[in-house]
Amino acid sequence: MFKTLGRWSPILIAFFPLLLSAGCSTVPAGKDPAHEALLAEPPKEFVGQIELAFRRRVAFMDNKEIETYLTHLALRLFPPGKSEIQVELVSTTTAGYQPSVWAVPGGKIFFDVRVLRALKFENEIAAAIALAWERSQGSEFRERLIQESARADPDPMKVWAFGILENERAIESTVDRVYKAGYDPRGLVNYFDRIPSKTKGQLETDNEALKDKARRTIAFYAPLLNPIVRSEDFYKMRKRLERL
């Protein structure tokens, strides 16, 4: 008997890991594939509920030239194939919202006109758009979107209430995206200076912490190799903005 086992032992050793894995689940502990897929691509109906709630609360600015400029700038930040991205200019003064830039999964970005007036350089605008996009990619954001969309009267600002860790992760991705697009990523620090970021349970030092995180992330890059801070289209946009 033992001689027989001896003959078969190399084969048993080879197949032993497969025998073990056959009785085990390939799903990591605590992971639900269906839920993960839901977060990766929230149904359009869920996204539509939040977008509709936002649209009901804000005013949309009718200036296609500025929106076209912002959309073209946004497309520069992404690889080819992101043609679904669209930037819309909004006014949130009557809604009582803090000035910001908001994004929803699927490519829609809402740019507050107060933010646009406050930003002085094109790389700051690029940073604002990239930050909004990266924030919308986080799983926590998408969890809130799914939960809030189920309510009878969803509050979009509860979906866009970002925590410190969410912002820090978004900052890392934003710096990388802006840098690779050819813009000076230090525009992100300027953006936080001009438009302080509000976080859940915010302390006075939170915005300084975000600026510090941006500076430390940028330190890994070579900002001076990316000179784009303004363009001819930027100056044209500013003139149109002055007429609004």
Summary mean pLDDT of the chain: 84
Polymer length in residues for the chain: 244
pLDDT tens for each residue of 78-129: 877 766 899 999 999 888 899 999 999 989 999 999 999 999 999 999 999 9
Which residues, listed in sequence order, are joined to residue 86 by a DSSP beta bridge?
108
Distance CA 189, CA 171 (A): 10
Distance CA 54, CA 112 (A): 12
Distance CA 231, CA 5 (A): 77
pLDDT tens for each residue of 161-219: 999 899 999 999 999 999 999 999 999 999 999 987 665 555 556 888 999 999 999 99
What are the structural domain ranges in the chain? 42-242
Indicate the pairing of strand 108-112 with strand 101-104. Answer: antiparallel
